[in-house]
Structure formats: structure tokens, C-alpha cells
Chains A and B, each alone.
Chain A
Amino acid sequence: MGILLFISVLLVAACGLVYELVAGTLASYLLGDSVLQFSTVIGTYLFAMGVGSALSRYLIRGLVYRFVCIELLLGVIGGFSSAALMLAFAYTEGFGLILYALVGVMGVLVGLEIPLLMRIVRGRYEFRDVIAHVLTFDYLGALGASLLFPILLVPRLGLVRSAMLFGLINAGVALWSTFLFAGQLSRARGLRVACLAVLCLLGAGMVNAKRITAAAEDNIYADEIIFSRDTKYQHIVLTRFKDDLRLFLNSHLQFSSRDEYRYHEALVHPGLAAIPAARRVLVLGGGDGLAVREILKYPGIQSVTLVDLDPEMTGIFSSNPMLVKLNGDSLRSPRVQVINADAFPWLDSNTDSFDFIVVDFPDPTSYSLGKLYTTAFYRAAARHLSARGLMVVQSTSPMFARDSFWCIVETLKQAGLHTSPYHVYVPAFGEWGFVLAGYRAYVPPAALPAGLRFLSVAGLSALFEFPPDMGPLPMPPNQLNTQVLVRTYENDWKDITH
């Protein structure tokens, strides 16, 4: 009897601590500032326990009955506390209020437990033994819970199910108590039915925890995150909201599936359609396969070589059904060869010649990316260009980063190429700029592939018109030893965000 009794003290203490940790952790996750959240949650919880202890003196008769009721209540409230808090954050404005109300109620109930238990068992032991044993197991339970929580519970079960598991333990202790203290209990049968009901309820909760979490997370993140991975090279996040897929690399938006056709049609067709004899195409960057999708619309293209740094990037765009649908399974086309390599050294090590080169890198946000926008890089790329070939360069926004755009144009000129800058409107990005470059002056195409959604032959010439607010600016070329573009780009965007 003794040891069983004290094990229930241990379990009860563990439950109490887990609810407190769940509340503190959730508040930290959702509101941030974990020091503040943990401090206030623990403080409130301990204070409420004090209130509970104080209130215990007003409970005089039917102590076992009341103890079992408290355990059941705690099982339900504590067990569902995590789910309730997540849903409250996702769907209500009153997360804070609900948090502290829950913490307060749980604290009061936990505060009642130990005084009641001590009074229930006081007749069986010496007073000093009761105090010593009960408190010893109380603290042991707390230790066990605090170790299990971060090591096993959160990583294995998650917050929602961890709380429910301990709700089940609370209810289990309640049921067990009806047997343990059967002698001091008159209406045991009714209580046992209630215990079973609570156990079933929590069990059902455990089974459906995923659905609850999903419902809450769907609302917490505006867009559903369908893929998120830290690769060796970058942080890839793919989100979906209704029919809109969005790709973020290091939190920079790369495309939105609603309007990416504008970007990729504009990237590929003004150049490629102007080279009737084009056979071989090189794509640098562009691991999403969307530019390749446009390139494959030309039956004359015999081979497309895609060089992208990140194998995980080209991997998911070759395998994820949603993404494969978006890029028309372009990366697995027999005409396409995917090479995972760093573009600049690859250009130096390769001797192939191409009729069309697509240079589609992330914006020059760092010195390492800035190397891919230098005269040295464009010279290296131009060595791979056939005599009548063209190169198109993603050149950031001539509207928001006007200096940077014209700096890229100047850099291509200094690399000894004829340049034809143009721009399009992509809703997800705003005005976006590209530069066509080649050994000869560019002549716009007389025809485009069928089935384009954005470009038309008649509309082409407008792309090459720059209104005064995006017009040319005198800029120095970007070189490896100056990297003026990185500084220019930083200033351009600083001006926008201030």
C-alpha cells in the first residue's frame, strides 16, 4: 500500500510539472522571449498552487472523492491544455488571457492535490513520515518530468500529445485511487465510470492529435509550408496557399506559381526565339527547372545543360509531384542534363559552346554571390557563347535597384558584349529586369512559340522601353576586385526599406 501510494504522489507531481512546462514552452514558441514567458508562467503557476493550498482547508469531508474529482479535472484540463492553447493562438485574439487562465486553474488544482493527499493518509503514518515521504516523491516526480520533457516527450510526442499523455496519467491515478482508498469512498462506481470516460476522451485526443496540430499550424503560418530544408548551401522553403506555390531561398522569394510564367517567359523567349538555329542551351542557376520548361518549348533545342549548385534543389524539382507538375517534369527530360556544380569554376573547366545561355542567379546580396555578376564572370560565360549566340542575365529590379540594374548592364558591356536591357512586370516581384548580351547586336524575334500566356510578338518592343524613372544611369562595371555591385545593391534596397 505504502509504495503504491507514494508512486501516485510521484505521478501526480510529474503531471503538474509537465503542464507547467507545456504552457511555458508553448508561450515561448508562439510569443517569443522565452525568459519572460517562462518566468511569468512559472510565477503564475506557483502562485495559483499557493491559492489551491490555501483553499484546501475549506474541503473538509469526502476527501478521497474530492481528490479523485480533482485528478479527473486536471487530467482533462491539463491533457487538453496544449491543444487548447495552440488553437487559441491560431483562432483567437485572446491567447494571453486563455494562457494565464489555464495556468491559473491548473495551478489551483495542483495546489490542492498534495494537501489533500497528506490529509487522506495522515492516519496511517506518523506526521513527520507523511511530510517526508510525500514531499520526497513529489520532488522526485518533478525531477523525472523535467528530464523526460525535453529529452523524450517534446521530440518524440510533441507538445500536444505530451500533455495528453500526462492527462491520461492523471486520470489513471484517479481511477487507481478509487481502488487504493476504496475504504474511504462511498460512491466508487460512479467515479470509476467518470474516470473511464475521461480516459477514453484523452485517448481519442491522442489519436487525433495530429489533426489538431495541423489545424492550428495551418492558421499560424498563413501559407502551408510543404517543404523546408537546410541544405549544405541554402535554406529552401516551399509554401502553398490554395493554388499558389512559392519558393523561398534563404527567405528570398524566388517565384510564385501564380505569376512565375511571366518571369520565365520573359527570361527565355526574347532571347531564344531570336536565335532560329539554336541547338544547345546552358542554364546557370535555375534549379527549379522553370526556365528549362520554357526552353523545351523549342523543338530545335537538342540539349539543355543545367548547372545548379544545390543537388537538393534540383532533386526536389525532379521528384516532388507538385513541383514536377509546375515545371512540366523538365529536369527529367532526355534533352536535359543536370550538373550540380558551382557555376564559375564549372565555366572555367568546361569547353562546350552554347547558342543560348541563361544566367539566373539569386540577387547579389553577398560578396560570394557578387562574383557571379562580374566582368570576369561574363567573360568566362561569353567564351562558351557561339558567334550568333545570346546570353540573358537576371538583373534584379530596374525600379527598386535601379543603380544595380544599370551596373550589371555596364559590366556586360565592359566584358565586350552588346547589351539589350529589358523589363517586365511580375506581380510577386514588381518590375523586374533582364539583360540580353551577345557578340552581335540583338534583333528581336519575329515569332514566339505557341501557347505563351504573357509574351506576344507585338508586345515585345515595349519591354525594351525604359520609362524615365527606370532609365539608364552611368555606373561603373562590377569587378572581382571592386565588387561595387554588392554595395550598390545594398544601398538600393536600403533606400527602399527606409
Chain B
Amino acid sequence: MRVGRRRFLGAGSAALVGLSLKSDRRIEGGFVNDSFPMGHLLRDGASFPAPRRTEKLPIVIVGGGIAGLSAAWRLHKRGFRDFVLLEMNAQAGGNARWGENEVSAYPWAAHYVPVPGPKAEYVRELFEDLGVLKNGQWEERALCFAPQERLFLYGRWQEGIEPAVGLTPKDREQFQRLEDLFGKFRASGEFTIPLERGKSAKFAQLDRISFADWLEQQGCTSRLVSWYMNYACRDDYGAMARDTSAWAGIHYFSSREAEEKGPLTWPEGNGWITRRLLERVGEHVRTGQMVHHVARTPRGASVFAGDTEYQAEFVIFAAPSFLAHYLLEDFPRLADFVYSPWLTANLTLERLPDSRGAEPAWDTVFLDSPTLGYVDATHQSLRTRIDRTVWTFYWALVEGSPAANRQLLLEKDWEYWKEAILHDLEHVHSDIRQCVSRIDVMRMGHAMIRPAVGSVFSEERRRLARRDGRILFANSDLSGISIFEEAQYHGVMAAQTALHEVGGRR
């Protein structure tokens, strides 16, 4: 009866005068892939089961992100099969994890790899293996389709993210000056990917000041220049320019040639690479295996996960390095390793919202938004007609300390983040609430290493990168910046060292 009356009211009288409430779509969703409960067990010194089984293996990889998977790839490619990879989460991939629903596959974090330069030889080798690079040609379907990036500013769209609309002569002059400066740094050969291939102490003094201070010294502090520089730091480092080492800020702009081809990307982002790697090394990968202790032994190290003790000769520690403090005895807390907290969300859209006349692009950014905008998972679709899609929404929590933001991530419920995300999108897509049917939110307290002031050239980092007996660190945080190429580089290097040692002693 009540329904009947409501229906009557809805369809009849209200519609009569056009006053029926615009009904928003019911939005499902929740938090997904939470990994902090496991991390907090370690932090809080919970007790774990005593080992009931032992396995003897020459090499054990701890951590199934890109560093760990790359180590596995290298071992496997060299014909070495006697190893396992232990991953805490139910799904391998780390920041290159992906999800999939009936609409599309989509990334959970990293969603592209820039076309690698000549120094990133292992990345090139990987892409040759995966068929993305053939006879020096990049596979067209893996290159980001046009139109790629767009920025919404002053009520309109522009192509590209560097502001090009409404610039004052001062803005122009500062952008130009920075471009010249970055060009010179690029030409110095110091700012390379991987970092190891160029970095020397030559510009180490730049690591002692913040990027914001350096920009101020150069007199490049106009509003739009600051916005763009901060956007770059938020996007790659999860930090504001004032919390970023100037060396790292310059590296962002000076490490790559202006690349017309655009990045390599896939619907599931770097999850595509994870999938291909798992196709090759998946039989060695054990997911849901949280390592709770690593002990040095006379002939190597023992890795304890669940009720199993893995007796290894070498451990490739590809998990974030800060965990070593909780896993290894007498391992100090790392002071120079700051991690940025992030939030990503995947939004399922039942139809495309109003975009003020623009055709969809791959990456959409809003000027002056605290978030990083969103990436469209169906952008790489070959279809001509897209009705439903998935957007991956990125938000590095940069205001305030990482610890306070981690607390925020824990305290606020899903409803809070859902509203915050919709509110951000609503500025540009006014009907977004009528389009979204699902928002899944992933909270990452330690999403990526932050190249904080003084951290890139820190002694602590240098020590860790050197071999620590039988435990080889391999996470991208060794470089101080969290990008695919660095993770892959350290994974491959650790695998090569381990192979050399294992092979040499047999």
C-alpha cells in the first residue's frame, strides 16, 4: 500500500509539476584489499604458529610486487626453477594489482609504464619477452590511445596536464625557465632511470633541500607553476613539493626524453604486466603466505610463513624494506624510509556522465583538486562504442603527516570516502551520482616510498642496497622513488646476485 502510494505520488502529482526528486543511483561498494590487519599483526608483535613443516630451497623471494615478480622472472628466464615467492595478499602484484568486473579489467594502483629509454635495458628486455617491443617497434595497442591526458580548468578542458590556458606572461616565462633548467639536468646524464645508471654525488646537495625551496630559489613560484610542480610530486611521490627532495623533483622532469609516443598502458594498468609475469612464473608464487619472521642461519636464512619454515640459502627481500624491522632480529627501524599513504577507488559507471562536450580521455585531472583525478579503464578498448566503464580514482593524502593520514584512512568509513570522491567528480561531471553504481575503495597506508628531503642520498639507503649477507633487499624503496622501472631493476639485480652466488657455490 505504501509503495503504491509512493509510486502514485512519484509518477503522478510530482511529475505533473516537475518536482519529482532526482533520484540518485544506489551505489554499492566497500573497502577492498585491506592489508593493514596483517601488517599490524607484525607491528604489534602478535604470536604466530610454530613451524610444522620445513622446505629447503636455494632462493626464497619475499613479496610479490613488481620487484619480487621481476626477480622470479629473471630466475625463471635463466632456467632456475628452485625457488618460491611468498606473497602476503591473496593476489600478487603489489602496486601492479588489478581487478575485473563484467564491465572491464582495471588497475588498483600503477596504471602505466613510460616508454623505457635506452638505459632501462631490463624493462626493454621484459617488453620484448611480452611482445610489446618487436623489432624496435612498440606494439600500437599497448601505447596509450589518443586523446591521452586532459586538464579541467576555468570551466573548460585542455589537452595535456601542464596548464596551457590562462597563463600570464610570468607563468609562461617560469615554465620556460624550468624547461631549460630541466633540459640541462637531463643533459648532465645524472638523472636516469634506473637511478643507479647515472646518479653520482655531483648533485647530492639538491637532496638536502626541498623541491619547493629549490623552485623558490629559481624564482618559479607562480600559482600555475606551483600547482603543476606539486601535481607532479603528488602523482609520482605521494607528497607535496615541500616534502619532496629537490633532487627527486628534478628527476621527475629530467629523467625522460619528451616522449611523443605516450606511455604503455592496458585496461588493467600494470596489472597486465603482473598477469603476463604470473603466466610465466605463477607456479612458484604462493599467495596468502604472510612471512612473519626471517632468521639468519649459518647457511643462509629461514623464512617463516604460516606453519612453514623455508630454509633458504638466499632471501630476496622484495617487500617494502620498512618491514625488515618487524621480521628480522636486530634490524633497526629505518629512519630515512618515509612512505606515502594513498587511496585508490574503482568506480563502475553504468553510463558515461556529462563531460561538458568533451570526448573521454585516458587520464583526467582537475586543476586545484586535492585528488589526482581518474583514469578510464576502457580507454584502451578497441570498441567504437562504450556504454559502461570503470574509472580508477587516485588520491595521495599529502596534507599533514603520513602518520596522521594513515590514521584518517583507518578512522573514516567507506561512506566518507565515497562522498569525498563523488564530491570531487561532481565539480566537472554534474550527473556523476546518476552514473555510478559501485565504488570500491582500496586504502594503502604505505603505498609508496617518498623521496623526502635527504633520503635519496641517505647513508642508510646506501647501506641497505649493499648485500647484507644472505638477505638481498630488492624493493623499489632502495631507489627512494617508487616506479615500475626501479622495482624491476632491483628485483632483477637481486636475482642475478643470488643466481651468481648459488651457481658459484655449487
Interface residues of A (CB under 8 A from B): 147, 151, 232-233, 309, 342-345, 348, 366-372, 374-377, 479-483, 486
Contact = CB atoms under 8 A, between A and B. Distances in A.
A480 B146 contact: yes
B144 interface: yes
A481 B16 contact: no
Contacts of B382: 342, 344-345, 348, 371, 376-377
10 contacts: A232-B387, A233-B385, A342-B382, A345-B383, A348-B382, A371-B382, A372-B384, A480-B140, A480-B146, A482-B260
Contact of A481 (B145, B381, B384, B387): B145
A481 B383 contact: no
A479 B260 CA distance: 12
A368 B379 CA distance: 10
Q: Which 6 A-B pairs have the closest CB atoms?
A: A483-B146, A481-B143, A344-B382, A376-B140, A342-B383, A368-B384
B359 interface: yes
Contacts of B386: 368
B261 interface: yes
Contacts of B145: 367, 371, 480-481, 483
B141 interface: yes
B39 interface: no
B147 interface: yes
Contacts, number: 62
Interface string B243-280: 00000000000000000111000000000000000000
A348 B383 CA distance: 11
B383 A344 contact: yes
B381 to A, nearest CB: 8
B384 A344 contact: yes
A481 B262 contact: yes
Interface of B: 16, 140-141, 143-148, 260-262, 359, 381-387
A309 B384 contact: yes
Nearest to A375: B140
Contacts of A367: 145-147, 359
A483 B147 contact: yes
A45 to B, nearest CB: 23
Contacts of B262: 481
Nearest to A380: B382
Contacts of B144: 481
A480 B141 contact: yes
Nearest to A486: B146
B385 A309 contact: yes
Contacts of B385: 232-233, 309, 342, 368
A377 B381 CA distance: 12
Given A147-B16, A309-B384, A480-B145, 17 more contacts: A232-B385, A309-B385, A342-B382, A345-B383, A348-B382, A366-B359, A368-B383, A368-B384, A368-B385, A368-B386, A371-B145, A372-B384, A375-B140, A376-B141, A480-B141, A480-B143, A483-B146
Given A480-B145, A481-B146, A342 B140 contact: no
A359 B30 CA distance: 45
A482 B383 CA distance: 17
Contacts of B147: 367, 483
A147 B17 CA distance: 9
Contacts of B146: 367, 370, 480-483, 486
